[in-house]
Every structure is written in C-alpha cells, then in structure tokens.
Amino acid sequence: MTRKIDRRTMLKATGASVTLAGLGLASPVVHSANEKVVRYLGTATTMGSEIDKKLFEDTGIKVKYIPVTTDEVTKRVLTQPNSFDIVDTEYFSLPKLVPSGNILGMDSKRIKEFDNISTTHTLGEIGGKKIGDQGTAPKKVFYLKDQFSSEFSTEPTRWATLIPTVFNADTLGIRPDIIKRPISSWAELLNPEFKGKASILNIPSIGIMDAAMVVEAMGEYKYPDKGNMTRDEIDMTIKILIEAKKAGQFRALWSDFNESVNLMASGEVVIQSMWSPAITAVRTQGIPCVYQPLKEGYRAWAVGFALSAATKGYQADVCYEFINWYLSGFVGGYLNRQGYYSAVPKTAKEYMADYEWDYWMKGKPAAQDIMAPDGKKLAGAGEVRDGGSFEKRMGGVACWNATMDENRYMVRKWNEFVAA
C-alpha cells in the first residue's frame, strides 16, 4: 500500500533516509561512541538533502527519519515515546500531546535565538498589532508551567512547549489564466461557477477550518470561534459541504501534496485549498498560479520541535545542538525562499540576498528574477509576492489550525462528508 503524503510528509528535497521506525517499528538507540544521531519523528517537510548535508558539515549530526503523516505523529508520541528523540509537530497538536507527559518542556535558556523568535508566536502580534487568534494560536500554548508539566501556562516561563521553526498564512490557490476575473473571497470555493473545478484539503483538522472560512464568507453563519466549534456548528458546516459535494462542486478532495500540484497544473481544478510550496511547484512549471489574498483573511499554522520525555543526557545535548543549528539561519533562508516564514527572521535574513528578502518579506517588487530553492524561476523582475509583505500577510490572519474540544466528533462528521 502506498502511503499518501501531505505537506507535512513531503520531503522538500530528496535524500531523507527511511528507518525501521518509518515502517512502524521502533529502532533501538545504538550509536557508536561520540556518534551524533538524532531520531527525527515528523513529516520532514522542513528538512531535506541540502539541509542534511549542511547540518552534517557544520555539526557532524546525522538525522534518522521516522517519516509519518501529521495524524501519525500524534499517535506515535502518545503510544511510542521511546521510539524517537525529537518530534517536529504542529502547535494545534499540543492540546493532545502535552497532557500525555510524553514530551518535555523545552529549556528556553538552552536556545541561543530564543529572544529573537517572532512575536507572532510569543505575543500574538506583529509590530505591536494583535493578529487573529481563533483556533490554537501559538501564544495560547507556547509555555508550560514547568519542564514536566502537563498544563499550559498563560504567563511566560522558562519552559516552552515547542521551539518554533516555521509558520505561514494559507489561503486559496487559483488559476488566473483560466478564471479570468478577480477572486477576493473564500466564498468563491463553493461558487457554482466552478462546479467540478474546485477542491478542498482532506485533512479534517485543517479542512474544517477552510470550510468555516467559506461558510462565514458566504454569510451563512458567524462562528464565535472557528477553531472550537460546537456540535451544532460542526453539523451545520458539514451539511453545507455535503450539499456542495453532492451537487458536483468538488473535482477532488486532496490530502497529497503532489495531487494538489497536479490538479492545479493540469487545469482540472482552478480554485482550491493550497499550500505555498505547491504554488511554487506549479509556477516553476511555467504555469500561472496565484496564492490569492482574500478579504476575510488567512488561516495560519506553525510547527516546532520538542524532545521525547525519554530523551536525556548526551542524546538531549545533541538534540539541543541540532535545534540551535536549525535556527541559526541556513534553514530559515532556505525555507523562506519556498514561501514559508522562519520563526527567527533575524538569522534567516543573513542567508538571503537583499533582493530575496525584499521580495519574500518586504513585499517589494523583485529587483531580479526570483528562483525557487531548486534553481527554477519562480517570479520575474518586477513581480510582487502574492499578498505582499510579511506584516500584511500575517497581519491578515483570521484563525489558526486547531484541535477542537469536539475533535473526535468533528473527525467523524468530516468522514461522513468524504463518504457522501
């Protein structure tokens, strides 16, 4: 059986090694003296061969990947905490992970760049301006009461839940050459004009948020908190999706990164939930594709690292060395050029040319051609990043990926939509 790959399972560059753990088998921690190896549990979206190579050159650290889907990350942390050293996970997973006691509070005093982490995470603001925090916004789950606590702290402490690495603001992707008119609202996803040409993300915790953005944009309902719906709100949202699906609105429900790229590149779909690197993948084929800013705002997400509660002593030291290297700039610059945002902008900037920083972060017209990390042309001179500057895009966040109190019920109802 072929495992489907979502954004958080796709390796941005090839070359990640697959271990027995990647097949669902825990591999024992047996390393030679002084060998530095990190067993990495996660979707590996923000890793890859170039990063692995630079990591080893700079630190001598090797990564053994345990590549899994987003939902499988959570299951493994809960059931097999001895099978990994470090986990790369989303903030919205923390309400499920932290109560287990299977991940340790991260010692902020051991993180060199901790004070330079983006205020989107620590304060929920940009330049002193508050941003939308519906859902599991990082600031709500950023700290623990102590290293071994299974409770979040509303006040800053020494102990962070995750050390953040990457985040972004997601929206709809469109094919402007086929649509041939302005698109400005999430409501367009269910516009009958695009019957059979639309698609939505089939990862329940994320897809339901996109659906809620659509429902509000259509004027059907105003959620008190899209990220924590009641059962009645879930029922109403799923009912609208099922009606649209039965009417033939959706060409596909995608959960595979490559599927989303192929649907858009082929023209089978002209409007859909999409991720920034997928937009990049379509554009580098020479096909017009826009990550469309919408008047209702963006749905945001964020990921970071935590250690297994079983990771101690020398192995913990190696993991902290890995994290500090990761935040030192090379990875941040690499991922910023894919359209992501590094959690430590200060160091990422040091690994980007001025014209790249101006394009990706400042929203300025490109002074010269913009290249993707694989060297293919992404944008031409004079073009502006979709949505503009970092401040404008993240300042327009309406909600964050979330774990709802009624998560199990929501997943059950979402599966009814998929099966309809």
Q: Given this model, what pLDDT does residue 257 score? A: 82
Handedness of CA 156, 99, 223, 215 (dihedral sign): positive
Stated as kind and residue range, the H or E segment containing 262 is: helix 257-266
Both 270 and 380 in one domain: the answer is yes
Q: Given this model, what pLDDT does residue 32 score? A: 53
Residue 256 in contact with residue 262, Cβ under 8 Å? no
Percentage of the chain lying above the pLDDT 90 cut: 84
Q: What is the DSSP string of 372-395?
A: -TTS-EEE-TT---TT-SHHHHHH
Average pLDDT over residues 45-71: 91
Both 345 and 379 in one domain: the answer is no
Mention every residue, 6+ apart, whose C-beta is less than 8 A from residue 82.
Answer: 26, 308, 310
Q: Is the pLDDT of residue 136 over 70?
A: yes
Q: Which two tokens stand for residue 199?
A: 């698609």
Q: What is the DSSP string of 151-206?
A: SEESS--SEES-EEEEEEEEEEEE-HHHH-S----GGGGG-GGGTTSEEEE--HHH
Q: Which two tokens stand for residue 306?
A: 């935590």
Both 155 and 215 in one domain: the answer is no
Mention every residue, 6+ apart, whose C-beta is less than 8 A from residue 204.
Answer: 410, 411, 414, 415
The pTM assigned to this predicted structure is 0.88
Which tens digit of pLDDT belongs to each residue from 289-312?
Answer: 999 999 999 999 999 999 999 999
Residue 140 per-residue DSSP state: G
* Nearest by Cα to 394 from 327, 343, 346, 352: 343
Both 147 and 83 in one domain: the answer is yes
Alpha-carbon separation of residue 53 from 48, 150, 231, 277 (angstroms): 9, 36, 48, 21
Both 209 and 322 in one domain: the answer is no
Both 117 and 224 in one domain: the answer is no
Which tens digit of pLDDT belongs to each residue from 250-283?
Answer: 999 998 888 999 999 999 999 999 988 899 899 9
Both 120 and 188 in one domain: the answer is no
Both 396 and 291 in one domain: the answer is yes
Both 140 and 258 in one domain: the answer is no
Query: Range of 411's domain?
Result: 171-298+370-419
Which tens digit of pLDDT belongs to each residue from 355-396?
Answer: 999 999 999 999 999 998 888 899 999 999 999 999 999 999
Both 305 and 394 in one domain: the answer is no
Q: Is residue 10 part of a domain?
A: no
Q: Given this model, what pLDDT does residue 24 score? A: 40
Residues 347, 170: Cα–Cα separation, whole Å = 23
Q: CATH number of the domain that 187 lies in? A: 3.40.190.10
Percentage of the chain lying above the pLDDT 70 cut: 92
Better pLDDT: 45 or 93? 93
Return the amino acid letter for 410.
Answer: M
Residue 238 in contact with residue 230, Cβ under 8 Å? no
Which tens digit of pLDDT belongs to each residue from 4-29?
Answer: 444 444 444 434 433 433 444 444 44
**Number of compact structural domains in the chain:** 2
Could you give the 3-state DSSP secondary structure of residue 136?
coil
CA angle 237, 235, 244 (to 5 degrees): 45
Q: Which two tokens stand for residue 262?
A: 């192929």
Provide the pairing of β-strand 250-254 with 341-342. Answer: unpaired
* Nearest by Cα to 87 from 306, 331, 327, 303: 306
Residue 142 in contact with residue 161, Cβ under 8 Å? yes
Residues 273, 237: Cα–Cα separation, whole Å = 16
Better pLDDT: 297 or 44? 297
**Long-range CB contact pairs, 412-417, < 8 A, 24+:** 413/234, 413/235, 413/238, 414/204, 414/207, 414/208, 414/238, 415/204, 416/238, 416/242, 417/238, 417/241, 417/242, 417/245
Q: Which two tokens stand for residue 12?
A: 């941005």
Q: Is the pLDDT of residue 171 over 50?
A: yes
Which tens digit of pLDDT belongs to each residue from 179-235?
Answer: 999 999 999 999 999 999 999 999 898 999 999 999 999 999 999 999 999 999 999
Residue 33 — pLDDT band, cuts 50, 70, 90? low
Residue 143 in contact with residue 130, Cβ under 8 Å? no
Residue 412 in contact with residue 236, Cβ under 8 Å? no
Both 180 and 61 in one domain: the answer is no
| In the block, residue with structure tokens 């997973």 | 93
Q: Which of 290, 315, 349 is the last residue of a domain?
A: 349
Q: For residue 201, what are the β-bridge partners?
A: 254
Q: Given this model, what pLDDT does residue 34 score? A: 75
Q: Which two tokens stand for residue 52?
A: 């692995």
Q: Is residue 355 part of a domain?
A: no
Stated as kind and residue range, the H or E segment containing 317 is: helix 313-326
Q: Which of 319, 349, 379 is the last residue of a domain?
A: 349
